[in-house]
Amino acid sequence: MGLECRDVGLVYPARTGEIRALDRISFRVAEHEFVCLVGPSGCGKTTLLKIVAGLLSPSSGEIRYRIPGVDGAPRCAMAFQEHGVFPWMTVLENVAFGLEMRGVPRAERRSRALSFIEQVGLAPFTDNYPHELSVGMRQRVSIARAFATDPEVLLMDEPFGSIDAMTKMILQQELLRIWFAHRKMVLYVTHDIEEAVLLADRVLVMTGRPGRILEEIPVPLPRPRDPRDRDAAESIRIKEHVWSLLEKEVAGGLVRNA
């Protein structure tokens, strides 16, 4: 049950021959599970996420979904890095966009969107345009939109990557709360180990290019979680383990890119 990524590989042509971006990637995400993908920059995390979303086709392998009550491809909502919210739509229109595309009637999408706008604390900004908001607030719009669309699968691409540390903690808290209330299947890309261990039920560690899954690390910390619990002994142990795996990859990448 859930999402299965089986032997996914991606090769694309370049001036100097073929570039292998992803190499035989296999993993599963169960229903209601929160899985984080971590890896050094340039390892193809975002590319993998786009393949899962169906925005890119893999060169080999396949993505399979088995979700009860859903025939064919399920609804994937993606929360993009920066700039994912439309500058020409108000907060309300942005959050309701997924529902609008699904043909949900206006009144219903308005009330659903408003509920999620309130959940991310943007109620006073419902009719504002994104340029009137801070980067952190825009990211909340992106997350509210993803949740409001009521997807079977939520894909998040470093949604807090460009946000300052303090705002990030608040947003992580909000994300944990909203996720705990709705329990969607989430695949979350980040290069922040702290964040991965805080959010995930399982962390998938990727290698540098070509990206492969190096190890799957379960995170058996109790829920609901809070960013303030990050110094718990178990949490630290897991983070150290993830870092021990990634250290070589990141250092190797530095040498390769030098």
Partner 1 sequence: MTRRQSGSGSSFAGWRLASKGLFVLALLAWETSVRAGVVPALFFPAPSTILATLVRSLASGEMAEHLAATLGRVLAGFLLGSVPGFALGLFMGWSPALRRVLDPFVAAAHPIPKISIFPLLLILFGVGAFPKILIVAIGVFFPILINTMTGVQQINPIYFEVARNYGADWRKTLLRVVIPGSIPFVLAGARIALNVGLTLAIAVELVSAEKGLGAVIWLSWQTFRTEYLYAGIVLASILGIGFRNLVRLLSARLAPWQTETHH
Asked if 253 touches partner 1 (CB under 8 A), the answer is: no
Give the angle subtended at the CA of 36 by the CAs of 26 and 52, to the nearest 5°.
50
**Which of residues 157 and 195 has its CB atom nearest to partner 1 in the complex?**
157
Q: How far is the CB of 148 from partner 1 (least distance, A)?
A: 11
- Of residues 133 and 170, the one with the C-beta less far from partner 1: 133
Residues 40-59 touching partner 1, rule: CB under 8 A, are 50, 53, 55
| Shortest reach from residue 250's CB to partner 1, in Å | 26
Distance of alpha carbon 188 from alpha carbon 200, whole angstroms: 8
Which is nearer to partner 1, 87 or 252 (by Cβ)? 87
Cα 29 from Cα 17, distance rounded (Å): 34
Instruction: Spell out, one character per residue from 66 to 105, where the chain touches partner 1: x when CB under 8 A holds, - when not.
Output: ---------xxxx-x--xx-xxxx-------xx-xxx---
Backbone angles phi, psi at 233, to 5 degrees: -55, -45
Measured N-to-C along each axis, helices 106-119 and 135-148 cross at an angle, to the nearest 10 degrees, of: 130
DSSP assignment, residue 233? H
> Would you call 235 exposed, middle or buried from its count of C-beta atoms within 10 A (0-12, 13-18, 19+)?
middle
Site residues for partner 1 per CB under 8 A = 50, 53, 55, 75-78, 80, 83-84, 86-89, 97-98, 100-102, 129-132, 149
